[in-house]
Amino acid sequence: MIIFCIVVLVLPASESMPLAGWVQSPGHPRGYDPDSSLNWTECAPAGLKTTLTLIHLDLEEAYDCENDFLKIYADGELLFKLCGRKSMKELQTSINPFLQSSSGGCLFLSFLADYSNPVRHTGFRGFYTIHDVDECKDPENECTQLCNNYIGGYHCFCSQGYFLDPDQHTCRVSCNEDHTDSEVGVLMSPDWPGSSPENLLCSYILSAKEGLQYEIAFTGQFDVEMAANGQCKDSLTIKTLSDEETYCGNKHPPSLFISRSQHVEITFRTDDEGTNKGFRLKYKTIEMTCPGTVTEHSHLIPNKSEYIHGSEITVQCDEGHILNSDELKREYRSTCKTNGQWSLVIKCEPVDCGNPNLPDVTELTEEDPQTTYQKEITLTCTSEYYRMTGKGIFSCDASGTWVSESGQNLSEDLRICEPVCGMNTEIASGRVFGGKPATLGQIPWQLLHRSNPRGGAVLISDYWALTAAHVIDGYEDDTLSCWLGGMVDAQDKNMVNMETKKIIIHPDYIKVGKNGDPKNFDNDIALIKMTDRVPLGLNLRQVCLPDKPIVEGLEGTVSGFGASHKHSRSKLLLYGDVKIHPLHKCDSFGRTVTNNMICAGDDSGVDSCKGDSGGPFIYPRLLQNSANEPYSLLGLVSWGPSECGDQRYKGFYTKVHNYIDWIKETIAQN
């Protein structure tokens, strides 16, 4: 016979809540009827828990207890689903130890029998109690030192010399010290030089009279715990009016610390583990001084490491920095006050060049670049028909200007990207008098003045063109004269129209005489400036200016919309190859021939003619250049025999190489 001894504690609870009792199946111990059921719940107040002890279990046996069963829940979680018969020993060892709620939790039982019960089963019976929980045995109660358990709760308390923190769990050492008006003294962590107590929060206050500050010297070993990852587990914090620093481990305070403040607060913290010693320091008051720095990016006049109170100095911003309050000034006056602070502190901020106004056909290589002092920006050309004249790198200088390595200021007028010269589309279909038609893009620098006077010109930049002076002589003031380009058909509707802004004839060109004929064609060259930037592209590009003197025997190509075999003017752009001959072997027709001219022709009758004047004579011949040899402008169609294509005579061209300096100087001045 097994005898149970049931002990019931008398606990403080409401009169309506029983502290112990029995729970059993319907009809126990005679047996339960089919379709019988029972639901039972018992909850405990905070600090107490409910425990159930089963002393009898006899239910119908079935797979997964699908007929009759007893379910037991604790705090909403299913603990057991029981059926069949279990001995007292089985209940005591495998079931009862787990039938309890948490503190303030509930136990819930659900009994259910099905429609049949062929053999009588007595059911179940158990005894429940509501009793105290010993929270002091719970490792999560967070009492750092001592714990006292009572019915329904627990209380943390501390050893002698400690006080209980407002969190009611942490014990701390009472180590707060106020050293106001103390001129000299020693501070150390509790129990120095022994290990510091755990869970310390010590505050040491130093407060001197106005005009004084503290000199703090750390003595002995500085031993404050630091974790392996470099984070402070324990810490020493020194706070002044203007600064705050925290130290631990290898990051220890300077051996001599000047507060630059009449008030200093030192805070020492430890966690709940470790055997580190802490710290020890000596302090004394000294005369207040101000630091040798007022603000970053500035220097002081006169320059000293520190200043006594009452000192007046000039704060001057370093090069490339200005005062944020006044962009026109770089300096101001400030005075060292008795509290160790400067009377006036204005930041020196870097000069900001701002977003640059970019020249045409250029763009930044990055969006939203930094634009302050010494920062750099890089420009690139927006079109494949242009190339950089330099590196395209500009830096923000001290005056707030973007400047290149060579000292050029970035402006909208600065030429950073120059057109790529002398390149064309090499698609030949033929070759001017005796010539063949050019294909679109093959001679992209060819320009045409279609109306009176009819003539040609050569594009040498995205604003300027060259032509023969006699073509536009008398039309200098006709600044709206229209030039056409980007086509090989004079009637092409997709041609590019370019309006003339300025015409500049070479100053040594001899103007037309009364009889309508020039005295000679020496210096037969003129510059044309367009009103707007010429839109360069596949069919409209510039030719290169020559960089080498003319050599007799060279063969080049002349082109134009002038007279051909059958017509006084050509609808199509024609070109032909001609060879340079010595001037003395060319018939001058009674006109003056100078070294500013080129004589060129072809024995087969290829020649420039009326209407071609001002057009290009280029080298090398079309289809004869390589990728590394762009086309250069040797000459401009100038004059020749009255009958074009006469194999006995040659045509004359203005020698462009002789006018390179005049061309460049004129463009630069206009």
Identify whether the C-beta of residue 352 lies closer than 8 Å to the C-beta of residue 335: no
* Average pLDDT, integer, range 125-132: 91
> Among the options 25, 298, 564, 613, which is catalytic?
613
* Residue keyed to tokens 């294509």: 645
Q: Quick check: is 470 catalytic?
A: yes
Domains of the chain by start residue, with CATH = 20-133 (2.60.120.290), 137-171 (2.10.25.10), 175-287 (2.60.120.290), 290-350 (2.10.70.10), 362-419 (2.10.70.10), 436-666 (2.40.10.10)
* Average pLDDT, integer, range 173-178: 83
Q: pLDDT tens-digit profile of 277-295?
A: 999 999 999 999 988 999 9
Residues annotated in the binding site for Ca(2+), as ranges?
60, 68, 114, 116, 132-133, 135, 149-150, 153, 225, 234, 271
> Among the options 58, 223, 522, 524, which is catalytic?
524
With cut-offs at 50, 70 and 90, classify the pLDDT of residue 626.
low
Q: pLDDT tens-digit profile of 290-331?
A: 889 999 999 999 999 999 989 999 999 999 999 876 667 889
Residues annotated in the binding site, as ranges?
60, 68, 114, 116, 132-133, 135, 149-150, 153, 225, 234, 271
13-27, 307-321, 395-409: least confidently modelled range: 13-27
* Average pLDDT, integer, range 45-53: 89
Q: Which residues pair with 172 in a beta bridge?
A: 163
Q: pLDDT tens-digit profile of 450-494?
A: 877 788 999 999 999 999 999 988 777 665 578 999 999 988 888
> Among the options 121, 179, 309, 470, which is catalytic?
470
Q: pLDDT tens-digit profile of 220-237?
A: 889 999 988 889 999 999
Q: Quick check: is 524 catalytic?
A: yes
Identify whether the C-beta of residue 193 lies closer than 8 Å to the C-beta of residue 277: yes
The pLDDT score that the predictor gives to residue 640 is: 81
Query: Hey, what are 528's tokens?
Result: 């044309």
Q: Residue 3 pLDDT more than 80?
A: no
Q: Which residues pair with 395 in a beta bridge?
A: 376, 403
Q: What is the pTM of this model?
A: 0.57
315-329, 368-382, 525-539: least confidently modelled range: 315-329
Q: Residue 435 pLDDT more than 90?
A: no
Q: Quick check: is 178 catalytic?
A: no
The pLDDT score that the predictor gives to residue 230 is: 87
The pLDDT score that the predictor gives to residue 117 is: 84
* Residue keyed to tokens 């073509």: 471
With cut-offs at 50, 70 and 90, classify the pLDDT of residue 185.
very high
Q: What is the mean pLDDT of the chain?
A: 87
- What would the 3-class secondary structure string for 90-149 be? HHHHHHHHHCECCCCCEEEEEEECCCCCCCCCCEEEEEEEEEECCHHHCCCCCCCCEEEE
